[in-house]
Amino acid sequence: AQKITQTQPGMFVQEKEAVTLDCTYDTSDPSYGLFWYKQPSSGEMIFLIYQGSYDQQNATEGRYSLNFQKARKSANLVISASQLGDSAMYFCAMREVSGSARQLTFGSGTQLTVLP
């Protein structure tokens, strides 16, 4: 079974509008972290936001926020007031902490295009 599922291969949003990128995950580990990374066309991977499994509040980082629904095992990224520079591939990733594992497992990504 896929550990991280991103069901939207591509999304379009109008500039200045908000957009939600979906991510669901599968783990039996009670301790885990969820990460979102942005990959522009230039190829680098840019860390955006983190949510821990024990965090009571949804993470926020500037225009990025995470809609964390633990019971549903979802960690959707919300980008508010989209900008043209937000056009990129977005990856959701998970780290399961038990056994001191540190590897990240990535989803297949969502290609976001911001329209002027």
Which positions lie near another protein, rule CB under 8 A?
31-33, 35, 37, 42-47, 50, 52-54, 91, 93, 95, 97, 100-109
Identify the CA nearest to 99 among candidates 30, 1, 50, 3.
30
Residue 103 CB, shortest distance to another protein, in Å, is 4
Give whichever of 82 and 88 is closer to another protein, judged by the CB atom: 88
Separation in Å, CA 57 to CA 25, 53, 68, 92:
18, 10, 8, 18
Give whichever of 15 and 61 is closer to another protein, judged by the CB atom: 61
Residue 27 CB, shortest distance to another protein, in Å, is 13
Give whichever of 42 and 71 is closer to another protein, judged by the CB atom: 42
Strand stretches in 1-116, DSSP E: 4-5, 10-14, 19-21, 24-25, 32-39, 46-52, 60-61, 64-69, 74-79, 88-96, 105-106, 110-115
Residue 106 CB, shortest distance to another protein, in Å, is 4
Residue 116 CB, shortest distance to another protein, in Å, is 26
Entry field: residues in the chain: 116
Give whichever of 10 and 81 is closer to another protein, judged by the CB atom: 10
